Amino acid sequence: MDARIFSKDTQALIYNFKANPVQRMLDFDYLCRRDKPSIAALVSPGSPGGHHKAFFGSEEILLPVYGSMERASRENPHADVMINFASFRSAYPSTKEALENVNIRTVVIIAEGVPENEIRELTSLSRKKGKLIIGPATVGGVQAGAFKIGNTAGTVDNIVACKLHRPGSVGFVSKSGGLSNEMYNILARTTDGLYEGIAVGGDAYPGSTLLGHLLRFEGIPEIKMNVVLGELGGRDEYDIVQAIREGKIKKPLVAWVTGTCASIFPSEVQFGHAGAKSGKEAESARAKNRALKEAGVVVPDSFEGFAKSIAGTYQGLVSKGVISPAEDVEPPEVPTDFKAAVKQGKVRRPSGFLSTICDDRGEEPTYAGIPMSEVIEKDYSIGDVISLLWFKRKLPKYATKFIEMCLVIAADHGPCVSGAHNTIVAARAGKDLVSCVASGMLTIGPRFGGAIDGAAHYFRDACDRGLAADEFVEEMKKKGVRIPGIGHRIKSAKNPDRRVELLKDYAKKNFPSTRYLDYALEVEKYTLQKANNLILNVDGCIGVLFVDLMASSEAFSDEEMKSIIDIGYLNGMFVLARSIGLIGHALDQKRLKQPLYRHPWDDVKYAK
């Protein structure tokens, strides 16, 4: 097996991937100024594939996702590392598949609790294939300035503090992932930093050993000294002692075996790792530390002296010229994720939406600043609620009563108008209620219900300009524009629209002024000279009366009135009212359960 398992060009396949480790690897890549990401592809077993969005610095990239390991490797043959986030239940088959894959050289098993018989079989297979397993029960490892596995070394801040964004001169191997992170920090403070660090995993039978990695480090020229953090239980440290005596390990080595406190307990103690179990005296931390020291390893008297021993060994090598301290390199700043930056108060982001009519962030919702409880307790009408939500103010009672009258009067115009017809057809075709009503609502326009705003605009403009009724009508004729709100298909001067009469009577009795209504009626007198059905219809009456309401109530400025008409507030009155009727038509047809009465072709008339 090659001594180097990682480089700045190494790419990995992530099996059963998790989003956070993926992004942390990419952030490390960016810190190290890699040319390309260390992740070639992601494997989500059984999925149809696709892409996963992530960031490489500030650039958003798409990582390919495959449903199988076989396809991911086939389409990314350069990826020679597989990082396995599978659970302990499925770690065995997925790791075995990777070991049998010709492209994969190193497999990292993150899961804890993989059955011993399975990991022993996988380890045997890896040796036959000349491949390497890191784990199980590991966070993985890191080659400083080149490649890191998953969550190794933690956050970006910790990586920079530990100088892992550029290579140092120390090789490190341990069983513990958590203590590895602590050791990277110690190495950054006592030496020029880490070159490569591996956590073999805390299970009793890891896929690779402390000694195996130390032997690899012997073949890496950039590593000038090694540090080992062992633990009680097992015999790994004795294998290191034997290798030193056989001359296989020649580089200076500083080591400490944790768990010396186990000797104070009267019975066997199980520590955090499955393999960290006090048993025979030979497996105790004290015995292992003593054996390492006798073999020539630098071993402190306690963990507290570990950093001092590492620093002393390093400084000795520097003074002899064996180590030329690596220069510190200023890493690029990794952009902060937006959500994290917002949480930390580092950014100000303008809102995508702005609401000035309601607020639901407090104990109760508010409508234009009025609490919901007040709306209920003071018996606000639907007209009051519309005045708050549409016009953002509480209008006089006569005004909100007028709004309610408009809703009642415009709620339905019978089944033959276009909106009702479309709703009925959709209902008979078996569509759901929302689709039926939407079908009818989409017909609202200048020829059906959409004339309220137009009437308000044209009558107000003509009246304010002082045009006589006949001048207004003739001006519109020259422009080729039909006067919105004038004309009816059925009603006429001899058969007036009762709805219009009710609205006019109410306004005359309750509005402070009906200037615009009076002007519209003057226009009606002129248009009736042309045809008996060119009367002021219900849309036109509602439009001009809303202008009268806004002008006479003195609650709106001229600019607000213009904005309300231009935006489409008044047509909204018809939309709200008509939705009531259209829902009724849809429910009525659904109760009748009638199919379409005839084929649509039957209604087509072809021109000759």
Alpha-carbon distance of 7 to 513, in angstroms, equals: 85
Residue type, 439: S
Strand partners, 84: 15, 109
* CB burial of residue 118 (10 Å; 0-12, 13-18, 19+): middle
- Active-site residue, from 273, 413, 488, 585: 273
* Closest C-alpha among 80, 98, 71 to residue 12: 80
* CB burial of residue 433 (10 Å; 0-12, 13-18, 19+): middle
> Tokens 């034997």 belong to which residue?
242
> Tokens 């009508």 belong to which residue?
473
Alpha-carbon distance of 292 to 254, in angstroms, equals: 9
Are 522 and 473 in contact by the 8 Å Cβ rule? The answer is: no
Alpha-carbon distance of 461 to 455, in angstroms, equals: 10
User: How many CB atoms sit inside 10 A of residue 408's CB?
Assistant: 12
Residue type, 201: G
CA angle 575, 578, 583 (to 5 degrees): 120
**DSSP state, residue 136:** S
Q: Is 10 helix (H, G, I), strand (E, B) or coil?
A: coil
Give a three-class secondary structure readout of 169-220: CEEEEECCHHHHHHHHHHHHHHCCCEEEEEECCCCCCCCCCHHHHHHHHHCC
Strand partners, 54: 61
> Is 273 tagged catalytic?
yes
Are 523 and 534 in contact by the 8 Å Cβ rule? The answer is: no
Alpha-carbon distance of 585 to 412, in angstroms, equals: 9
Strand partners, 226: 171, 253
* Closest C-alpha among 60, 52, 58 to residue 30: 58
Alpha-carbon distance of 153 to 24, in angstroms, equals: 10
Q: What are phi and psi of 455, to 5 degrees?
A: -65, -45
Q: How many helices (H) and strands (E) does the chain have?
A: 23, 16
Strands 194-199 and 225-231: unpaired
Q: Please give the sequence-ordered ranges of beta strands (E in DSSP) within 16-70, or none if there are none.
A: 39-43, 50-56, 59-66
Are 133 and 109 in contact by the 8 Å Cβ rule? The answer is: yes
**H or E element at residue 132:** strand 132-134
Q: Is 560 helix (H, G, I), strand (E, B) or coil?
A: helix
The Cα diameter of the chain in Å comes to 122
Q: Please give the sequence-ordered ranges of beta strands (E in DSSP) within 312-453, or none if there are none.
A: 358-359, 366-367, 370-371
Q: What are phi and psi of 453, to 5 degrees?
A: -65, -40
CA angle 131, 134, 136 (to 5 degrees): 125
Active site residue ranges: 273
